[in-house]
Amino acid sequence: MYPQLAIEAAAQSDVGQRRSHNEDSFAVLPCLGLFMVADGLGGHAAGEVASRMAIEVVKSCFEEAGDLEETWPYGAATPHDRDEVRLVMSVRRANRAIYEASQRQKETRGMATTFAGVLLAPGMAYIAHVGDTRVYRMRDGRLERLTRDHTLLEELLREGDRDSMLEAIEALNDRASAVTRALGCDENVEIESRVEATLPGDVFLVCSDGLWGPVPEKRIAGVLGAHRDLSLAASLLIDLANEHGGPDNVTCVLARLGGG
């Protein structure tokens, strides 16, 4: 791993206004440059178990000495490639662990979770995600979403022409937000990854849909732009989600790159 980067970080999670328990899990690991959020799927058995397993398995992969056992199917020629490989393979291992655990125990049969993680290395950010947990970057006062939701709605937006898309969305109604992939649903899962060049001062936000669902992105950007204290910003984002009805568990993880 790289020498420790100068990273400020903060996180907060809340049950929200309409749920009885919190199925979100998260990790803030500046020493590893790793920041993650997992959201146990509502309506699935033991969602909180699945989300916790996702975080713990990925974390353990980065804490282990040496490389993961799996090999990257496309090859890994550079250190930057290997960083992306390590993140993606750790998420793949988490998927397998959750799936196998769900098959062994009746109480957890069908458990699943979304996941998003950011690995910060010198000059680069590596992102891996499954489902509708999101990663944003705040740079120079502009908030940019770096992930695409794996939902029926997003698939329609990417694939359909506008007229047929609007008809299909209307027909879907509430099902439009249903996730189309998650960790633990199947033995194998397609993990989407992305690599971004970083600049000093970049702020990365990893959050569950309990934040971005009820709170407009403009409001999220306003909080991040107005408050340099990340702990305060995280607290205010949670408050905003609850002020907008708190329809779901809400979790946000913030990480800012230092240097200059």
CA pair distance 41, 217, nearest whole angstrom: 23
Q: Is residue 39 part of a domain?
A: yes
Residue-level pLDDT, tens digit, the chain, 260 residues: 555 689 999 999 999 998 889 999 999 999 999 999 999 996 566 899 999 999 999 999 999 855 554 544 544 446 567 899 999 999 999 999 999 999 988 888 889 999 999 999 999 999 999 999 999 999 999 999 999 999 887 777 776 555 555 555 555 556 667 899 999 999 999 999 999 999 999 999 999 999 999 999 999 999 999 999 999 999 999 999 999 999 999 999 999 999 75
Distance CA 172, CA 184 (A): 25
Could you identify the residue written with the tokens 């205010």?
Answer: 236
The number of domains in the chain is 1
Q: Is 2 within a domain?
A: no
Q: Give the burial class of 176: count Cβ atoms within 10 A of its Cβ; 0-12 exposed, 13-18 middle, 19 or more buried.
A: middle
Q: What's the CATH number where 152 sits?
A: 3.60.40.10
Please indicate, yes or no, if residue 146 is contained in any of the structural domains: yes
183, 115 contact by CB (below 8 A): yes
Q: Could you count the other beta carbons within 10 Å of the beta carbon of residue 164?
A: 11
The answer to whether the pTM exceeds 0.75 is yes
Query: Cα dist. 230→7, 11, 74 in Å?
Result: 11, 8, 38
For 216, the token pair is 């407009």
Range of the structural domain that residue 145 is part of: 7-257
